[in-house]
Chains A and B, each alone.
Chain A
């Protein structure tokens, strides 16, 4: 069984629609992250959370919001999707500190 899961795996939506990407983990990690990956730009941090009561903006948080519903769940929302939010989105977890992060399989989002 996967330790970090993401749903949906693929999504096509239209400009202006609200969409939520979900991430769940069974690793028991406190820290969770959302990244987007674009060709030629690498991975960029959108939001991160150290625990259920702690949410922090990353380098590209505009147009996104997050919710940490439980230690195991961290969801990313696009309130009004726009075409330049078309990207591959990854959720990641870590046990804390400057160590390894474990990634989910990714969600490929296309905004038309």
Chain B
């Protein structure tokens, strides 16, 4: 099983729709989870951290299921500017530093 797995997409979604991405991770010792956003040819930037209790930031909601080792990101009322690649990121855990990045899910919002 790969360390962090994501559906690469692309997800083609009409503007205003709701879209959800999922991610699974293999390291049960991981303790920190993030969603990063990466625009074409740009650097990844933190979108939001993912907490055990779930968290919401405006139109974005992140959920963590530790038992299933599963992370999700929900985007409501999608905007054209949401078009990007979304990277699921998990820390290595077990005392090892560093983050493991998923390969990303490509989202295209269509007018």
Report the count of interface residues on A (CB-CB < 8 A). Answer: 23
CB nearest neighbor in B for A35: B101
CA distance A33 to B91 in the complex (A): 14
Main SS class of interface, B? strand
**CB atoms of A42 and B102 under 8 A apart:** yes
Assuming the contacts A42-B104, A98-B91, asked whether A104 and B49 have C-beta atoms less than 8 A apart, the reply is no
**CB atoms of A42 and B101 under 8 A apart:** yes
Report the count of interface residues on B (CB-CB < 8 A). Answer: 22
Is residue B57 within 8 Å, beta carbon to beta carbon, of the partner chain? Answer: no
**Per-residue interface assignment for chain B, residues 15 to 39, with 1 indicating a CB less than 8 Å from any chain A CB and 0 otherwise:** 0000000000000000110100000
Is residue B93 within 8 Å, beta carbon to beta carbon, of the partner chain? Answer: yes
Chain B contacts for A108, CB-based, 8 A: 41
CA distance A48 to B91 in the complex (A): 14
Assuming the contacts A105-B43, A106-B42, A106-B43, asked whether A99 and B32 have C-beta atoms less than 8 A apart, the reply is yes
Is residue A1 within 8 Å, beta carbon to beta carbon, of the partner chain? Answer: no
**CB atoms of A105 and B42 under 8 A apart:** yes
Interface centre among B31, B44, B92 (most CB of A within 10 A): B44
Knowing that A42-B104, A105-B43 are A-B contacts, what are 9 other residue pairs whose CB atoms are under 8 Å apart, sorted by A's residue number? A50-B97, A98-B31, A98-B97, A100-B46, A101-B99, A103-B45, A106-B41, A106-B42, A106-B43
* 17 A-B pairs whose Cβ atoms sit less than 8 Å apart in the complex: A40-B103, A41-B103, A42-B102, A43-B87, A45-B98, A48-B98, A50-B97, A90-B43, A90-B44, A96-B97, A99-B32, A100-B34, A101-B99, A106-B41, A106-B42, A106-B43, A108-B41
